[in-house]
Amino acid sequence: MKVPFLELKTQYESIKDDINAAINDVIEKTAFAGGPFVKKFEDEFAAFCGTQQCIGVGSGTDALWLALLGLGIGPGDEVITVPNTFIATTEAISFCGARPVFVDVEDKTYTMDPALVEKTITPKTKAIIPVHLFGQMADMDPIMEIARKHGLFVIEDACQAHGAEYKGKMAGTIGDAGCFSFYPGKNLGAYGEAGAVVTNNADLDNKIRMLRDHGQAKKYYHGLIGWNARMDGIQGAILSVKLKRLPGWNEARRNNAKLYNDLLRKVDGLVPPSEAPYSKHVYHLYVIRVKNRDALIAALAKKDVYCGIHYPITIHLQDAYKFLGKGKGSFPVAEESASEFVSLPMYPELTQEMIEYAVKELKESMSARVS
Ligand SMILES: Cc1ncc(COP(=O)(O)O)c(C=O)c1O
């Protein structure tokens, strides 16, 4: 049996007629850049999240960048975030001219440790970006409390957390803005690049709409210096088709995670993911921890079970961010977990047999290591 790390074709086959009709519709109506299909998806995604506004943009990276720009973050400002994220989180901060300031993460959820946030606040701090990593939301209540106390904006990086919940509230809806990626492998994935910002702030909505479209609210009248960060029509139409299925797909991911959890109970030297009591995890990734992971990943690949690593090197140790001057040991929880993470195959279409096979092979290579 073969268990790919990610496999998008099976899902496409299951919705092929709707997807092909949607693409055809966009082409027939030549609504390629922005336009009615993007607008329709924006309305549907805002309703799904429960926010007043959703702005479709070109990628999750655009979403983060434009949300920061829209809130006025710029040169001289500091933005607090975590070092164990995809680099886009910090690139967005850097591309505003601001400086990322890291805090370490909690040992069980790998999301921002609220207890560490306050001591990193300086007079330059303008915003906090908690990252809802692997499909689980950060502990938002204490983060929001600190933000309110210090007058800081909160931008949720919800790029891995479509439909995740915190105490019944949807990812992206608690802070000033929530940023989503629809990169193809995400829980809600386009068939190309796409992203969105959700917000209840009408001014911010207005600003991001202008920024994503060359700073214009009316064609050729440029009130701001903006950029081209529009979502394209085909992606909007595809996302509308797929959004209807997202709750079912997230449930399938949760069931797959439950099966993994049951089968992986009490495996020596393996730490399964944990779901915090406040959280509804949507398992964008199912990430375990083991020592000497490279040998395990290689052994599993020989058995046709393919794994990933998210992410092998924390951001403060990347060459691009050496200038921040944070060496090894600066963020021990993020660093140690990053050296042990293994992402097992996870997608709604995984079958029980595939999970059972992957776990059987995993257990065999773990016990071969011990004996
Ligand atoms: C946590 C996180 N932030 C930001 C992004 C950037 O999204 P995109 O690839 O759509 O630009 C991603 C996507 O990979 C992500 O996982």
Whether residue 42 has its Cβ less than 6 Å from ligand 1: no
Q: If you measure from the C-alpha of residue 114 to the centroid of ligand 1, how many angstroms do you get, rounded to a whole number?
A: 22
Do residues 26 and 190 touch, judged by C-beta distance below 8 A? no
Structure letter (DSSP) for residue 80 = E
Q: What is the pLDDT of residue 30?
A: 97
**Residue type (1 letter), 109:** T
Q: What is the pLDDT of residue 370?
A: 57
Whether residue 160 has its Cβ less than 6 Å from ligand 1: yes
Q: If you measure from the C-alpha of residue 316 to the centroid of ligand 1, how many angstroms do you get, rounded to a whole number?
A: 17
Q: If you measure from the C-alpha of residue 105 to the centroid of ligand 1, how many angstroms do you get, rounded to a whole number?
A: 19
Whether residue 130 has its Cβ less than 6 Å from ligand 1: no
Length of the chain (residues): 371
Each residue's pLDDT tens digit, 52-61: 999 999 999 9
High-pLDDT (> 70) share of the chain, % = 99
Q: If you measure from the C-alpha of residue 268 to the centroid of ligand 1, how many angstroms do you get, rounded to a whole number?
A: 33
**Residue 220's pLDDT band (boundaries 50, 70, 90)?**
very high
Report how far residue 14's alpha carbon sits from residue 241's, in angstroms, rounded to the nearest whole number: 12
High-pLDDT (> 90) share of the chain, % = 98
DSSP string for 331-351 = SHHHHHHHHHEEEEP--TT--
Q: If you measure from the C-alpha of residue 256 to the centroid of ligand 1, how many angstroms do you get, rounded to a whole number?
A: 23
Name the average pLDDT for the chain. Answer: 97
Whether residue 194 has its Cβ less than 6 Å from ligand 1: no
Each residue's pLDDT tens digit, 255-313: 999 999 999 998 999 999 999 999 999 999 999 999 999 999 999 999 999 999 999 99
Pocket mutation for ligand 1, best pick of 61, 87, 137 (most atoms within 8 Å of C-beta):
61
Atom in ligand 1 nearest the alpha carbon of residue 133: 1
Tokens of 308: 């990933």
Q: How buried is 338 (Cβ within 10 angstroms: 0-12 exposed, 13-18 middle, 19+ buried)? A: buried
Map tokens 């019944």 to a residue. Answer: 168
Each residue's pLDDT tens digit, 266-279: 899 999 999 999 99
Atom in ligand 1 nearest the alpha carbon of residue 195: 10
Count CB-CB contacts under 10 A for residue 266: 6
Quick check: 338 pLDDT over 60?
A: yes
> Hey, is 14 helix, strand or coil?
helix
Count CB-CB contacts under 10 A for residue 168: 7
List, in order, residues 6 or more apart from 248 with CB less than 8 Å away. 348
Quick check: 160 pLDDT over 90?
A: yes
Q: If you measure from the C-alpha of residue 12 to the centroid of ligand 1, how many angstroms do you get, rounded to a whole number?
A: 22
> Hey, is 195 helix, strand or coil?
strand
Whether residue 157 has its Cβ less than 6 Å from ligand 1: yes
Q: Determine the average pLDDT of the residues in 154-172.
A: 98
Whether residue 134 has its Cβ less than 6 Å from ligand 1: no
Count CB-CB contacts under 10 A for residue 355: 23
Quick check: 227 pLDDT over 60?
A: yes
Report how far residue 243's alpha carbon sits from residue 179's, in angstroms, rounded to the nearest whole number: 16
Q: Determine the average pLDDT of the residues in 171-193.
A: 98
Q: What is the pLDDT of residue 368?
A: 84
Q: If you measure from the C-alpha of residue 309 to the centroid of ligand 1, how many angstroms do you get, rounded to a whole number?
A: 15
Quick check: 51 pLDDT over 80?
A: yes
Pocket mutation for ligand 1, best pick of 183, 235, 282, 284 (most atoms within 8 Å of C-beta):
183
Q: What is the pLDDT of residue 129?
A: 99
Count CB-CB contacts under 10 A for residue 323: 8
Structure letter (DSSP) for residue 110 = -
Whether residue 183 has its Cβ less than 6 Å from ligand 1: yes
> Hey, is 67 helix, strand or coil?
helix
Whether residue 187 has its Cβ less than 6 Å from ligand 1: no
What is the DSSP pairing of strand 221-222 with strand 216-218? antiparallel
**Residue 371's pLDDT band (boundaries 50, 70, 90)?**
low
Q: Determine the average pLDDT of the residues in 25-44.
A: 97
**Residue 189's pLDDT band (boundaries 50, 70, 90)?**
very high
Whether residue 306 has its Cβ less than 6 Å from ligand 1: no
**Atom 7 in ligand 1: residue holding the nearest Cα:** 60
**Residue 25's pLDDT band (boundaries 50, 70, 90)?**
very high
Q: How buried is 184 (Cβ within 10 angstroms: 0-12 exposed, 13-18 middle, 19+ buried)? A: middle
Whether residue 159 has its Cβ less than 6 Å from ligand 1: yes
In terms of phi and psi (left: phi > 0; alpha: psi -120 to 50; beta: otherwise), the region of 101 is beta
Quick check: 105 pLDDT over 90?
A: yes
Pocket mutation for ligand 1, best pick of 65, 66, 86 (most atoms within 8 Å of C-beta):
86
